[in-house]
Chains A and B, each alone.
Chain A
Amino acid sequence: MANAQYFSDLIVKVAAERDKAAFVELFDHFAPRLKGYLMKQGADNAVAEEVAQDVMVTLWRKADLFDPGKSSASTWLFRIARNRRIDRLRRQKTAELNPDEPALQPAPLPDVADEMDARLRETRVRAALEQLPEDQRQVVRLAFFIGQSHSEIADQTGLPLGTVKSRIRLAFGRLRQLLETDAAVDVD
Chain B
Amino acid sequence: MENNVTGMDELLAGYAAGTLSYPAQALVGAHLELSGRNRGYVSSLETLAGLDLDGSEPVPLSDRDTALGAIFSSEAPLLDEISFSPPQKGSVSSGVPRSLQSIIGSSMNEVAWKGLLPGVRECRFGEIDGCNTSLLWVRGGRALPSHTHHGAELTLVLQGGFSDDDGHFVTGDIAFADGDVDHKPIADKGEDCICFAVTAGRLELTGPIGRWFAPFIS
A binding-site residues for B, Cβ under 8 Å: 1, 20, 23-24, 27-28, 31-37, 39-45, 47-50, 52-54, 56-58, 60-62, 65, 71-72, 74-93, 102-114, 116, 118, 121-122, 124-126, 128-129, 143-150, 152, 168-169, 172-173, 175-176, 179-180, 183
B-chain residues with CB within 8 Å of residue A103 when the two chains form the complex? 102-105, 125-126
Q: How far is the CA of A178 from the CA of B64 in the complex (A)?
A: 41
Interface residues in B12-55 (C-beta closer than 8 Å to A): 12-13, 16-19, 22, 25-26, 29, 32-33, 36, 39-55
- Given A124-B44, A172-B13, A179-B44, answer yes or no on A87-B79 (Cβ-Cβ < 8 Å): yes
- List 13 contacting pairs A-B, 8 Å CB cutoff, sorted by A: A1-B55, A23-B71, A31-B64, A47-B213, A52-B61, A78-B50, A83-B18, A84-B83, A86-B18, A104-B128, A114-B43, A121-B44, A145-B49
Evaluate contact between A56 and B29: CB separation under 8 angstroms: no
Binds A, one of B142-150, B161-169, B181-189, B200-208: B200-208
Most buried by B among A61, A105, A110: A110
Evaluate contact between A110 and B57: CB separation under 8 angstroms: no
Q: Would you call B80 an interface residue if the criterion is a C-beta within 8 Å of the partner chain's C-beta atoms?
A: yes
A72, A85, A90, A106: which contacts B47 (Cβ < 8 A)?
A72
Most buried by A among B10, B88, B126: B10
A-chain residues with CB within 8 Å of residue B40 when the two chains form the complex? 114, 116, 179-180, 183
B-chain residues with CB within 8 Å of residue A113 when the two chains form the complex? 39, 43, 46, 87
CB distance from B207 to the nearest CB of A (A): 5
**Chain A to chain B: the 9 pairs with minimum beta-carbon distance, closest first:** A147-B209, A107-B102, A75-B50, A42-B210, A32-B58, A110-B87, A82-B18, A74-B50, A172-B9
Besides A27-B71, A34-B53, 4 more A-B contacts (Cβ < 8 Å) are: A56-B67, A84-B83, A89-B213, A112-B32
Number of B interface residues in the complex (CB < 8 A)? 83
A32, A77, A92: which contacts B61 (Cβ < 8 A)?
A32
Classify the interface of chain B: helix, strand, loop or mixed.
Answer: helix
- The number of residue pairs between A and B whose CB atoms lie closer than 8 Å in the complex comes to 256
B-chain residues with CB within 8 Å of residue A183 when the two chains form the complex? 40
A65, A107, A116: which contacts B101 (Cβ < 8 A)?
A107
A-chain residues with CB within 8 Å of residue B68 when the two chains form the complex? 24, 27
Evaluate contact between A111 and B9: CB separation under 8 angstroms: no
A49, A111, A144: which contacts B206 (Cβ < 8 A)?
A144
- Given A37-B52, A75-B46, answer yes or no on A49-B62 (Cβ-Cβ < 8 Å): yes
Evaluate contact between A125 and B44: CB separation under 8 angstroms: yes
